[in-house]
Chains A and B, each alone.
Chain A
């Protein structure tokens, strides 16, 4: 019981801490904007530079690094284990396994860096950077919080808000293929090469359904700018329910989440690094170069969560009690609450990915391609046509929302419907039938 209360207290404390943190980030961004104005530049120059540090270098990297710990502890909880708890701070407190983060970093940094002699020297060094930087740069367009007026400056909680928001996402997600491919090719190892080929084949395939699944969202919100999408998701569509992407595009959400999951190359889509068959494209890497490839994966997980949250889970809108919060809170504090809500959604989505990771065994290669080309891509294309027709018929999105409700209800219905006969009876019958058939064949 103590743990139960304690866990909720920790969650509450984390949320409150996030609100405080983002309030501070808003203040810092405003200071940056003021400095830029004083130097004669537009204000958003300064706030963007400050945000690049606070959001990308601090928030994103901290979440990604903590995810390595969460991966251990959450996975343990999902598998009836305790997880990493042998480092005791002060001889007594495991602190939820967080000290393992430092131990990991120390190990990665001090490890001997070995490399194959016959490698391609330049590309071998370049590959981890190419794997890491595009994923890292993806976060630039993610709107973490709304635009509010702080210290006389209009500042937003994002690094950049280009009009081509989602296109930037596609472009950079496509670039990260180079990192993995070059890592395999440059290390001049057959197995690494095999991993790289698998990775590129898988990522290029899923790129298609990834792009197609977001077309529906673009049609519905009539924009590709992520910040405009986040604002559009706060508008009520059916009664008090806001037009969040999950409601308008449940099918698009499923396809996007699955495709981007495949893009992260983690279980069950971890074919490029299947430990039991081939070690993967980073086979020849060690030390911090491996660490970078490893960290790129975790950063990708967080960014996938961030983009899914921005496009499908209502962006930075807290959704619950939003009207009350907006009416009663100081605008800056409301912005901080929004940003904290966004990060909470991101953490929830990373947790969900971990759940799926431990849920499914690795797909076979043909299954991966079949899932992409036979299930996800047709689903995405159907979604595009349905969305287009619905928006054409009713530009207020209400029809689309109702279609979404029907889809969600249908998915729930199919999930809850027990198609499999209960008990062993059916299996027994089937076994008998097989037995008879074998018997007949024998005669």
Chain B
């Protein structure tokens, strides 16, 4: 039901001012009492905070962060495989799709593998990036994502905004059933390969699904990770 505005003229009691003011004083005193005499719930997960006593709504930004909703296009990350190397096969699809031309890739051949390539350099200039997410859409290997839930942090130099593959490669690893390196003979040891195959999921074309496919993924844990990094 929509909120109706009671626009009748004030009755005698209301036009006396004071009774209404006394009632409102009670309200403000209650708020004061709650917030001054009870501590804030220190839970780092802002959304899960207990607000029964202290109702302070402030989020102390650099120390505390509200996790962004799923689908928020944050800072890029290069998705790792189970062994820690990037999923990226240096196909240049993202660099081609990028309207801001902020992705620079230098491909190299994987030693002892006749087919596979890997990015020797994978550099994103976050100052140029227009945060459109086309690179994520273009990637055939689900190797670049924008699911970190962070902004590019502020820096004092322009160079600080240029992220190379070492800074970009992070977050939980991802495996899919049809990943070539799980199907073809691989560099991995047999045990690691078996574990990786067991963790693999079918690849989904639905964008929203990719989050549910990452085991243990949540924007909250990523926010907590980010907080740990900024504290260190």
Chain A interface residues toward B at CB < 8 A: 1-4, 7, 74, 76-82, 254, 352, 355-356, 358-360, 371, 375, 411, 414-415, 417, 419-420, 424, 426-428, 430-431, 434
Contacts and interface: CB of A to CB of B under 8 A. Distances in A.
B5 interface: yes
A355 B173 CA distance: 54
B6 A427 contact: yes
B57 to A, nearest CB: 5
Contact of B4 (A79, A414, A415, A431): A431
B135 to A, nearest CB: 38
Contacts of A419: 11-14
A434 B29 CA distance: 37
A191 B117 CA distance: 72
B28 A78 contact: yes
Given A356-B21, A411-B22, A419-B14, A430 B6 contact: yes
A4 B6 contact: no
A77 B31 contact: yes
16 contacts: A4-B38, A74-B32, A76-B35, A78-B28, A82-B40, A82-B56, A356-B25, A359-B27, A359-B28, A375-B16, A415-B19, A415-B22, A419-B14, A420-B11, A424-B4, A430-B7
B18 A359 contact: no
Interface of B: 1, 4-8, 11-14, 16-19, 21-25, 27-29, 31-32, 35-40, 55-58, 60
Contacts of A355: 25, 28-29, 32
Consensus secondary structure, chain A interface: helix
A428 B2 CA distance: 11
A420 B10 CA distance: 10
Contacts of B22: 411, 415
Contacts of B12: 419
A424 B6 CA distance: 8
Given A254-B18, A411-B18, A419-B11, A426 B6 contact: yes
B31 A78 contact: yes
B38 A80 contact: no
Given A82-B56, A360-B21, A3 B37 contact: yes
Contacts of B56: 80-82
Which of B7, B18, B40 gathers the greatest number of chain A CB atoms within 10 Å? B18
Nearest to A376: B17
Contacts of B5: 427
A359 B24 contact: yes
Contacts of B4: 424, 427-428, 431
B34 to A, nearest CB: 8
A127 B5 CA distance: 46
Given A356-B21, A359-B28, A430 B38 contact: no
Contact of B39 (A2, A77, A78, A424): A2
B121 to A, nearest CB: 40
Contacts of B16: 375, 414
Contacts of A79: 31
A411 B22 CA distance: 9
